[in-house]
Amino acid sequence: MNEVKTGEKELRKVFGDTLKTLMQENKDVVYLEADLAGAIGTSGLIKEYPEQAFDVGIMEANMVGTAAGMSVKGKIPFVHSFGTFASRRCADQTFLSGCYNKANIKIVGSDPGITAETNGGTHMPFEDMGIYRSFPEMTILDVAEPHLLAEILKEMAVSYGVMYVRFPRKGKECYYEETQKFTIGKGVIVKEGTDASIIASGIETAEALRAAEELERDNIHVRVVDMFTVKPLDEALVIKCAEETGAIITAENHNKIGGLGSAVSEVLAENIAVPFKRVGIPDCFGEVGDKKFLAEKFGISQKDIAAAVKEVLKKKK
């Protein structure tokens, strides 16, 4: 089992450091920021690389369109805003100038779901993956582990297409060895188990690992999958988990509608019927609070995941 520890670097530092390396290695990698460099920690990067990094101002729609235009000319743009604005605010630009235009843009949405904490309901994207999941050919990544983020950013830079990655700026929980390799579109089993499988993404993967540890004390052995690619979903792994463990629980820091739980349920419904439950935000708006309070309030805490597992196991034959 992968153990959850507290790492040294916040995810925003991992983001800035990795982006810097990518820009140094390839002059075509560019970075556009919508006036949140101070929040994501990239102000120095913008000063240091004036030919590759640009603060475009508070104009997310123009930022995504400009990035798309640059990519048609061979640039590889990473663009950043808070997850709310990197999805809702520029959805049409991402769809048309990005996906439909066959552009190559890497959209970074920080502070997904409850990790927006004191920025509250206005800044708390519970719907970003739902919006983007219906955009043809778009890749959606829900990440909250430092090594995973670094490796995924590198893979994004060399994979053509419109991609959206969401991660919390301040997260630093880690559960991967530095040698761990990742492939976009492939989930990783981070804990083995036979009674049920928790398929989780983002901050919920660590929460699921803790829930799984708690369940071991009750002699319940659950598998935990880090399904960091929400689209294209690793359907084969979902089916394998259903076949081998006979029950599935999803856990996500997103509205239950439209995100990981929806994606997994679609695969199960079409392929293999097993007891199933979604842990996620219950179709409501966010509010201010700290992460622990919000996780409990919206029912996505370790305890909620463990309870969901027990509930599903009652339905298992």
Binding-site ranges for other proteins (CB under 8 A): 30, 51-52, 54, 56-57, 59, 61-75, 77, 92-93, 95-97, 100-102
Cβ closest to other proteins, residue 52 vs residue 139: 52
Q: How far is the CB of 112 from other proteins (least distance, A)?
A: 25
Alpha carbon distance 126, 282 (integer Å): 10
For residue 12, the one-letter residue type is: R
Q: How far is the CB of 45 from other proteins (least distance, A)?
A: 16
Cβ closest to other proteins, residue 102 vs residue 310: 102
Q: How far is the CB of 169 from other proteins (least distance, A)?
A: 25
Sign of CA dihedral 49, 53, 57, 62: positive
Q: How far is the CB of 103 from other proteins (least distance, A)?
A: 9
Alpha carbon distance 296, 23 (integer Å): 40
Alpha carbon distance 286, 240 (integer Å): 34
Cβ closest to other proteins, residue 65 vs residue 130: 65
Residue with tokens 């935990």: 224
Cβ closest to other proteins, residue 68 vs residue 107: 68
Q: How far is the CB of 52 from other proteins (least distance, A)?
A: 8
Kindly state the DSSP code that residue 116 receives in the 8-state scheme. Answer: G
Q: How far is the CB of 289 from other proteins (least distance, A)?
A: 33
Q: What are phi and psi of 77, to 5 degrees?
A: -85, 130
**Which tokens hold the place of 193?**
């188990």
Cβ closest to other proteins, residue 68 vs residue 309: 68
- Work out whether strand 5-6 and strand 173-174 pair parallel, antiparallel, or are unpaired: antiparallel
Sheet containing 276-281: which strands, arranged edge to edge?
188-191, 222-226, 196-200, 248-255, 276-281
Cβ closest to other proteins, residue 62 vs residue 271: 62
**Which tokens hold the place of 231?**
């689209």
Q: What are phi and psi of 30, to 5 degrees?
A: -125, 160
Q: How far is the CB of 98 from other proteins (least distance, A)?
A: 10
Query: How many other C-beta atoms are found inside a 10 Å radius of the C-beta of residue 296?
Result: 14
Cβ closest to other proteins, residue 70 vs residue 224: 70
Alpha carbon distance 263, 240 (integer Å): 15
Which of left, alpha, beta for 120 (phi over 0: left; psi -120 to 50: alpha)? left
